[in-house]
Each structure stands twice: as structure tokens, then as C-alpha cells.
């Protein structure tokens, strides 16, 4: 839970909703970097590559809990990242001996509310076939 608390704190410190995409991108990058700096440790790694031949990375993996975390700072259009991030976990598990068994997607209330119903909810209920669980948490 320390990883989730750190994400909430980084979000609060760095994110101010904006209609300026450039400013929003900079704030999101600052929030994510701040979060990662707070949680990195012997068991927690950041920007973990999903496969040697791919540039895709997972924001944070806690190897002591076999849990992956992705932060979508803005709650707008969360599905763009959510589904892609699930596939990153699947590809990671196919390419590493230590498997992720829990994926946590962190986003603002607006995004969490959207993903916790409809297709997002169905995916979370069906993903057990891939030997990991998915949870969406409001930051």
C-alpha cells in the first residue's frame, strides 16, 4: 500500500488539471518520476522492460509482492492506457521467470469510475485466465 500512497502524494504535489496538453504532459511526467523516486528500493524497480526486444516498460514492479503498478495521472481517456498496460503485463509474464500476479492501475476518480464498469469491469473479472488479477484504484 505504500506504493499507492506514494502515487497519491505525487499526484497531489504535481498535477493541476489543464487544457494545455504540453503542460499536462510535463506535469504527468513530473508526477510519475516523483512517485517512482519515492518507491524505488531493493524489491521495487521502476521502468521495467517487458521484453528484451521491446521498448515498452512497466512503471513500477514490487517483486516482493509480484505486483505491477501503472499510473495514469489524468483521469481522461483512461482506457487508452489501461488496456495497453494489461497487455504489457501479459508480455512481461511471457518473457520473465518471476511472474506478475497482480496489476494495479492508478488514475483519477473520473477514470477509475469509467474503468470500474462496462468493458473495464468485464476485463478485470475475466483476466484470471492469464494468472493475474487487475484492480483500478482512484488516486
Please give the tally of structural domains in the chain: 1
pLDDT tens-digit profile of 67-99?
A: 999 999 987 889 989 999 999 999 999 999 999
C-alpha to C-alpha distance for 29 and 89, rounded to whole angstroms: 21
C-alpha to C-alpha distance for 61 and 85, rounded to whole angstroms: 13
48 within a domain of the structure (yes/no): yes
pLDDT band for position 130 (50/70/90)? confident
The pTM is what?
Answer: 0.91
Contact 85, 104 (CB under 8 A): no
Contact 44, 4 (CB under 8 A): no
34 within a domain of the structure (yes/no): no
32 within a domain of the structure (yes/no): no
94 within a domain of the structure (yes/no): yes
Average of per-residue pLDDT values in the chain: 92
115 within a domain of the structure (yes/no): yes
User: Structural domain of residue 54, as residue ranges?
Assistant: 41-138
The CATH number for 118's domain is: 3.40.50
For 134, phi then psi, to 5°, come to: -125, 135
Amino acid at each position: 500500500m505504500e506504493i499507492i500512497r506514494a502515487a497519491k502524494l505525487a499526484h497531489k504535489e504535481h498535477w493541476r488539471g489543464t487544457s494545455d496538453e504540453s503542460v499536462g504532459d510535463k506535469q504527468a511526467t513530473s508526477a510519475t518520476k516523483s512517485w517512482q523516486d519515492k518507491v524505488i528500493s531493493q524489491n521495487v524497480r521502476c521502468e521495467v522492460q517487458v521484453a528484451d526486444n521491446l521498448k515498452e516498460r512497466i512503471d513500477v514492479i514490487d517483486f516482493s509482492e509480484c505486483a505491477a503498478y501503472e499510473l495514469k495521472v489524468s483521469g481522461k481517456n483512461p482506457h487508452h492506457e489501461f488496456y495497453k498496460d494489461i497487455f504489457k503485463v501479459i508480455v512481461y509474464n511471457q518473457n520473465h521467470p518471476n511472474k506478475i500476479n497482480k496489476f494495479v492501475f492508478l488514475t483519477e476518480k473520473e477514470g477509475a469510475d469509467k474503468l470500474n464498469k462496462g468493458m473495464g469491469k468485464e476485463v478485470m473479472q475475466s483476466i484470471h485466465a492469464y494468472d493475474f488479477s487487475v484492480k483500478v484504484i482512484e488516486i
